[in-house]
Every structure is written in C-alpha cells, then in structure tokens.
Amino acid sequence: MRLRFEHWSLLCRGRRKKIIALIIVLIFLINAMFYVAMTLFERVHKRHNWNGIPGKQYDNNSYLDKNGMRVIVGHYIGGSSGRKLPEDVINANLYSPVPMAGEGGRPVEIYQRELITAKEHFSLHYYNIVVSDKISINRSLPDVRSKSCKDVKYDIDNLPTATVIIVFHNEAWSTLMRTVMSVIRRSRDSLVKQIILVDDASERAYLGKELEDAIIDFKQVHLLRNPKRTGLVGARLLGAKAASGDVLVFLDAHCEVTEGWLEPLLERAGSDDVFVCPHIDLISEDTFAYTKSVDAHWGAFSWRLHFRWLAPSKEVMDAKLKDPAKPYPTPTMAGGLFAVRKSLFWRLGGYDEGMVIWGSENLELSWRAWQCGARVEITSCSRVGHIFRKHSPYSYPGGVQRVLNNNLARVVSVWMDEYADFFYKFNPHVAAVRDDRRVAARVELRKNLGCKSFKWYLDNIWPQHFFPSEDRWFGRIKNDLGACLAPNASVPGVGGAASAQPCHPDDQLEGLVVFTPKGSIMVDVGLCLEKGNGRVVWRFCNENHRQYWEQKGPRIKTLTGLCLTLVTNKHPDPSGIGAPLTTVRCSDDPAQIWHFERVPWR
Ligand code: LR7
Ligand code: MN
C-alpha cells in the first residue's frame, strides 16, 4: 500500500502532474458533452413521441386529452389484415430480441432501413411489429404504483386464486408471449391457478405448433382452440368454462402486467359483488414505450354509445385524495381487463353469446353489473399496460358495420329501456337490425335477476351524465341570424373556443343540446358552454358557476346578467356561421336573440 502511494506521489510531480490534470479536465469535458448530447437527444425524441407529452395532438381516430389520456374516437374500422402481404410474411414469427431493447419500458428506436419494413408490416397488427420483435418477451418494466399502493399489505394466504384468461385472434407471437410471460414473471405462483390462452380460430402458422412448443414447459399455461371464430365473447366464455380458479382475470393478448398487479384485483374481487379493473397504462403502438396514464379516469360512453374515458366525478376524486389505494366506482369498464369472482360471473349470466367478434360487450357487462346489484370498479394499485391501436387488424365476417350494429342493437334493446328509443331514433342503421325476439333470453335473464332500470343507473351511478331526460330541455338553440349553438365540428370531445355552427336537421345529434334545470348547456361527451375570459368556450362540465346560464325570454344570460352574443363584425356570413361567441351587456342586437326549438328525444 505504502509503495503504491509513493508511486503515485512520484507521478504527480512536475510535467506529469500537468498531464494528469489535463487528462482529468478532458475526461470531465467529454462527460459533460456526452450529458448535454443525451439530454438534447431525449428532448428531441420526446417531441416526436406523442405518447410522452400531453397536449392536443390528435388524428381522426384518437387524441390525447388534457390529462394525457389517449381517447379513441368512434368505432374501429376494420383494417386490411395485412392481406396484401405475401403469405410467408404473414405467417412468419420474426421475434429476435436485441439486448436491452425496450428494457425498463423505454421506447425503442429502429434504424432508418427498418422503417420501411415496419411501415409495410404495420397493417398486420396495427402496431409496430418490428419494434415488438426486438423487445425481449421477458423485458423489465417500471413500477409506476403510487407509494400508498406499494405500502398496502395483503393477506396472501387468504386471497382467492386466479385463472387468467387471454383470448386472441391472429395476434403477433411476441406481444402474445410477452403478455403471458409478464403474468408468469410478475404474479405469485400460489395465486395463479391457471393461465388459459384461447385461440379464436387464428390462421397464422406461428400460432400453431410453434406456440404450443413455447408454452410446453409452463405447466400452468393451457391452450384452448375455438373450433370456429366467434369473436372475443365466445372465446372468453370458452376460457371461463375451463377455469378452476376462484377469480377470472381477463386480459387482452397485447398487455404487460407490472409488479404487484394481481393482489389488489384478487383482494377486491374476493368480495363477490364487483367487477374490478386494473388501471390501464399505455404501451405505445409505435415505440412500445410504457407510459403511465393519468391517475384517475373513468369509463363512460357517448350519445352514440362509443366508449370514452372521462374525468371521474368530484366525489370520486375527493375519495381518491383521501385514500389513493382504494378502488373507485366507474360507470363502465373498457372491457378487456378485469377480474371477477367466477361465481358472480356465472350468477349474472356470463356474457351475451349473441354478441360476436368485437364491440359493445363492455357496455353490456357494465350495465348488467350495475343494474343487477353488482358494481364496476377500478383499482389504481394494479397497473397493466395495453397497446391502444387506432384500427382493428382482423376481419369482421359479415362486414364491420353489420357486426358492430348487431352487438349495439342487442345491448340497447335489453338494457336501455326508454333510452333505447333515444338511441334508435338517432341511429336508424342500428334500429334497422334490431330484432327483439333474438334477445328474448337476455330480457328473461334481466327479469329473473330483478335488475333495475337504465334511468336508475344514469341517476345513481352516473349522475353527471349528459344524456337528455324527462326534466332536461333537449333541442336546437338557433340564433336570430340563422346559425346554431353547437360544439365546433372539430374532433369530437375536444373543447375550445365556441363559435356558431350551421344548423342540422332534427335527426342529427351534432346540432342538439341539453339544457338542464340547473342551467348547464351541455352536449355530447360532457362538454358544457362556459363563459371564458372574454370568449365563450366549450369545456368539460364541472359545476363551475361560469357554466350556468339562464333563459330569459329569447336571451341566454350568465349568472351576472350578461347576454350570450355572436360576434359578427368580422364575419361576412349573414347567418353568423363561424362567428365567435361572447358575453356582453344585453341590448336589442339580433346577435343576442336565440330561438329554442325543442326536439323530442325519443
Ligand atoms: O374476433 C376476435 N377474436 C378475439 O379473440 C376479435 C378479437 N379477439 C381478441 C383480440 O385478439 C384481443 O386479445 O380480443 C381481444 C380484444 O380485442 P382488441 O384488442 O382488438 O380490442 P380493443 O383493445 O381495441 O378494445 C376494447 O374493447 C373491446 C370491445 O369489444 C374489448 O372489450 C377489448 O377487450 C377492449 N380492450 C380493453 O379494454 C383494453 C383497454 C383499451 C381501451 C379502451
Ligand atoms: Mn386490445
């Protein structure tokens, strides 16, 4: 030791000393440059990666809301299923993991030369299969739970056991296996009785023997094959019938579960009166980055019954602040990821087998649960990532619209009572395929279970809803100049500055508004007319006094007595279309005169 020290002091003398000092400075400089370069790279990368930044970036099918939650707009359009690609490409499993790719849930960049393949193969699954194939099926993920969730202690020995059911049709090998492996790696063995994979008549070669070989060493993993394509409901029922665990846990085939995901689900589902969903995080369909989604959201639906994420009610938010680890109620579930006690699942009638391929079964299950005495909840302590995509990659035998409309008609006819009349009135294409005889068995089930009405559900489970009702005025509010009060025809659900819109005929929901007894002027997906600073805007309804209006004769007034007015001076259109809305002192100006044209809602 002493000897070494002498060497060192020798070295540090004279010119050597200077050289060493120089080297140290150089190392420091190189490090600093590297750090700056990395930071810059990350910044630039983040700017290009929409998943990471909340904002109003959107396309025709989805947008990020102000909380960074991806909102899928409307129904899926059936994709091309990659049918234009050569057979050997469609049937190949090109999984070949690259060390460290996607570890920790980080995004994966691909080389320029791979971009073309990634693009060409995109329609196979509507996610980036080149990226997925580079990421290990055993990749690590961040633990995004809150501290209060991590602190919860579970009585493991007394939790019910789970059967995890994963259904798939033509799923990619790497995403499917990553789902399975994440469950195996991140669940306590004693809690998982079985993992049942149900193949809904897939046609891809790699999902045959290659898949069987891949799972052969995992004794708890079983593979069932649906002899005929039924869609996800039929496939899930097949899995549920084979389940031996106490609790059924359903997952889509492109999920990744994270640390501690199972215990909160099992603890809550043990109570036998609840369908409990994990908190769904985002896996980017492009980079496969795992992104934490907004802390609290609940599932609901638009006037046309498209599923939407919305901000939870104030009561729910307050309760969550008090106890962030406590599961909270949601009007509906997204559909793919939930846990339910097997006995409750069957007692409430399993699924409606008449619902085929894809769509609406999440509404059916949620309404049935609430209306028939059970609950639907979300627990933030169970975090599962899911790849959200904008298109459906597989075929819809019989046609996309026919399938979707059939499923919608079934759930509407069985569960919505007088609200079915509302829905059918404005959705004649769905009304055209309704056939009440075919749902007789489900109506009977509803009767036998003694379920409550749809109105009860709206009033009690979702009092913040934006549907018309007996005590709400519904119709068209038309300015004296000719234009109508309606949300801007941009992407639905995105608020913003309000302006007068063209009027629509009676049978189009786009031009119709609800005026509540409390004074909210609301439209589809829960946007309310709000007095902003100067301008009037459409914002998510929030009980704020700026969102209350009074009808005084032909005028619409704020609580402080200002009049809702079209600003026409810079707008040449004589009917006022496109003119912004504002609130000013009341006068005789026709831009302040509104005609209330009631439209029967059912
Ligand atoms: O014919 C089919 N057979 C199948 O086995 C069609 C689909 N499937 C499988 C498919 O491989 C997948 O594993 O069913 C699963 C769900 O299909 P997706 O992933 O195409 O559906 P999605 O994630 O776009 O849609 C959501 O809504 C559906 C309505 O029918 C289902 O309830 C999905 O399970 C549901 N997914 C989620 O809730 C995840 C969170 C996303 C949201 C919102
Ligand atoms: Mn899915």
Residue 361's alpha-carbon distances to 72, 197, 273, 532, in angstroms, are: 17, 20, 19, 39
pLDDT of residue 278: 98
Model pLDDT, residue 586: 97
335 Cα to the center of ligand 2, angstroms: 9
Contact 462, 300 (CB under 8 A): yes
| Cα 145 to middle of ligand 1, angstroms | 25
Q: Given a cut of 90, is residue 22 above it in pLDDT?
A: no
**pLDDT exceeds cutoff 90 at 572:** no
- Residues 346 and 244: beta-carbon distance below 8 Å: no
357 lines ligand 1 (CB under 6 A): yes
User: For residue 573, what pLDDT is reported?
Assistant: 87
576 lines ligand 1 (CB under 6 A): no
165 lines ligand 1 (CB under 6 A): no
Query: Please, which pLDDT band fits residue 25 given cuts at 50, 70 and 90?
Result: confident
pLDDT-derived band at 30, boundaries 50, 70, 90:
confident
Q: Mind listing the pLDDT tens digit for each residue in 41-62?
A: 444 343 333 332 222 233 444 5
SS (H, E, C) 135-181: CCCCCCCCCCCCHHHHCCCCCHHHCCCEEEEEEECCCCHHHHHHHHH
Residue 347 and residue 512: Cα distance in Å, rounded? 40
Share of the chain above pLDDT 70, in %: 88
Res 421: pLDDT:
98
Lowest mean pLDDT among 71-75, 289-293, 306-310, 514-518: 71-75
Report how far ligand 2's centroid is from the alpha carbon of 330 (Å): 19
pLDDT at position 3 is: 37
Lowest mean pLDDT among 24-28, 213-217, 435-439: 24-28
Ligand 1 center–CA 77 separation, angstroms? 13
Cβ distance 268 to 274 under 8 Å? yes
**Could you tell me if the CB of 197 is within 6 A of ligand 1?**
no
On average, the pLDDT of the chain sits at: 90
* Ligand with smallest separation from the Cα of 356: 1
For the four alpha carbons of 557, 559, 562 and 567, in that order, the dihedral sign comes to: negative
Given a cut of 90, whether residue 71 has pLDDT beyond it is no
Q: What is the mean pLDDT of residues 431-444?
A: 95
Structure tokens at 110: 């691909």
Ligand 1, residue 309: give the atom nearest the CA. 43
pLDDT at position 42 is 44
Look at the block and give the residue holding tokens 């063209």. Answer: 502
Q: Which residue has the tokens 């393949």?
A: 117
Ligand nearest to the CA of 300: 1
Token pair 């069985």: residue: 414
- The pTM for the full model equals 0.88
Pocket test for ligand 1, best of 203, 232, 294, 363 (most atoms within 8 A of CB): 232
Cβ of residue 231 lying under 6 Å from some atom of ligand 1: yes
CA of 387 to the centre of ligand 2 (A): 6
